[in-house]
Chain A
C-alpha cells in the first residue's frame, strides 16, 4: 500500500461512520447517500497530499460532502435535504431571544418520556427548519464541535451557536406539540 493511501486511510477511517451518518441525513438511506460518501472520498483523495497533513482537519471531508450535496441539489434526480439559508438570516437572529423560557413538555415519568422520545424524535427532527437541522445533525451525526461546524458551514462561531439553540428550541417545540396530540400522554398528564 502506498504512503499516500495509508495516510489517507488513517485520516478517513476514524470518520467513516460519521460520514455515513451525515450522508444519510443529507441524502436519505438510498443509493444517493452511498454515492455522496463515495464522491466525498473520491474528491478528498484527489486533493489529498500526505505532506500537507496539518491542513486536514476533521471538518475537511464534511466541507467536501456539503459542497457536493449543494451541487447535487441543483441537479434533477438527487434527493438532497439541504436548503440554503434565507437572505433574512441576520434579521431572524436579531429577532431570536436566546434567553426566552423553553416550551414546557407534558409531564411524564422517566419511562414514558423515554418511550415518547423513541417514537417521536426523528419525526420532530424532520419538522424543524432545514438550515437549523443541519447544524444539529453535524453535531449529533458528525460529532463535530461548534468550531468544526463553523468551518463546514463557512460561518462565524456565533452563528453556529445561534442556529444550534434555535434548532434545539424548534425540536423541543415540535415534541411539545406531539406530546399534546398523543392521547396516552395527555391522559398521563391529567
Chain B
C-alpha cells in the first residue's frame, strides 16, 4: 500500500471503520513509514482532544439541567395529562376551564410541553416566578409519593400562568397557577376546610380541584382521586 492510499483510508482507519483486511494493510504501512505514522499520531491526538473538548462543553452551565429518567417520565406524563384534558373536558366546563383546556391544547400543538425539568421545587419555583412574574410557591411534596416533574410557562385567558407537572405513583397530575381572584366554579362542589374553601368537580373522567390563594388561582387536574389532589393543594400552604 502506498502513502497516497494510506492517506485515503487514514481517517476511516483511525475510526475503526475499515474492513479487517484493509485495516491490516494500513497498519502494516504505518509500522514502516515514519511520515505516515507521524500523521496518524497527530490525527489521533486531534480527535482525542476534540472529543475531550466537546465533552467538556457539556459540563458548562446551562439554563436547565436535565434529569433524564424524570424528563422522559415527565414527557410521558404530560402527554397523558394534556391529551386527557384536551379530549375529555368539553368547552362547556366553565370559562376558566375552557381557557385552561385551550391553553393545554396549545402546549400540544406547539409540542413543547415542558420548559424546565427538575424535581427540585426551589429550582422550578424560581424559574416559573421569573418567567411568569407570578409570586407563586409550589407544593412541598419532596417527601412522599408525589414527585415533581417540571413546569412550563403559559397563559390562561391572556393572563400569565404556570403549568406544573407532578406524578403520584406514576399517575400524572397537572397543577396550574394563574393570576386572578375570581373562580368560575359553576357546577362545582364547595368543600369548606376552616376558613378555606375549595371547589371540586369531575369532568368526563378527570378530577379537578380549584382554590384561591391571595391573588392566585390554583388548579389541580388529574385522574387521581380528589383526596389526592387535596393533598397536593394542602402541601402548597
Please list the residues of chain A having a beta carbon within 8 angstroms of any beta carbon in chain B: 1-2, 5, 8-9, 12-13, 16-17, 20-21, 24-25, 29-31, 33-35, 37-39, 41-43, 45-46, 98-102, 105, 113-114, 117-118, 121-122, 125, 136-137, 139-141, 145-146, 161, 164-165, 168, 171-172, 175
Contacting pair A122 B53 (CB below 8 A): yes
Contacts of B42 in A (CB 8 A): 105, 113, 172
Could you tell me the distance between the alpha carbons of A171 and B39 in the complex, rounded to whole angstroms? 14
Contacts of A114 in B (CB 8 A): 45, 49
Q: Does B58 contact A (CB under 8 A)?
A: yes
For B2, give the chain A residue with the smallest CB separation: A99
**Chain A proximity of B111: nearest CB distance (Å):** 6
Contacting pair A24 B58 (CB below 8 A): yes
Contacting pair B8 A5 (CB below 8 A): no
Tell me which of B39, B58, B112 contacts A20 (CB under 8 A): B58
Contacting pair A16 B63 (CB below 8 A): no
Contacts of B57 in A (CB 8 A): 21, 24, 29, 122
Tell me which of B8, B46, B58 contacts A99 (CB under 8 A): B8
Contacts of B64 in A (CB 8 A): 31, 34
Contacting pair B75 A41 (CB below 8 A): yes
Asked if A46 meets B62 with Cβ closer than 8 Å, knowing A9-B72, A16-B68, A38-B114, the reply is no
**Chain B proximity of A158: nearest CB distance (Å):** 11
B40-74, CB < 8 A from A: 42-43, 45-47, 49-51, 53-55, 57-58, 60, 62-64, 66, 68-69, 71-73
Please list the residues of chain B having a beta carbon within 8 angstroms of any beta carbon in chain A: 4-5, 7-8, 11-12, 15, 17, 39, 42-43, 45-47, 49-51, 53-55, 57-58, 60, 62-64, 66, 68-69, 71-73, 75-76, 79, 111-115, 117, 170
Tell me which of B50, B62, B111, B114 contacts A43 (CB under 8 A): B111
17 A–B pairs (Cβ distance < 8 Å), ordered by A: A13-B68, A13-B69, A31-B63, A31-B64, A34-B63, A34-B64, A35-B112, A42-B112, A45-B72, A45-B76, A118-B49, A121-B50, A140-B47, A161-B11, A165-B12, A168-B46, A171-B46
Apart from the given pairs A117-B46, A164-B11, A172-B46, 5 other A-B contacts in the complex at a CB distance below 8 Å? A8-B72, A9-B69, A24-B58, A100-B7, A121-B46
**Chain A proximity of B59: nearest CB distance (Å):** 11
Could you tell me the distance between the alpha carbons of A164 and B117 in the complex, rounded to whole angstroms? 35
Among all A-B residue pairs, the 4 with the closest Cβ atoms: A99-B4, A117-B49, A99-B8, A98-B8
Contacting pair B79 A45 (CB below 8 A): yes
Contacts of A2 in B (CB 8 A): 76, 170
Interface centre among A38, A99, A136, A164 (most CB of B within 10 A): A38
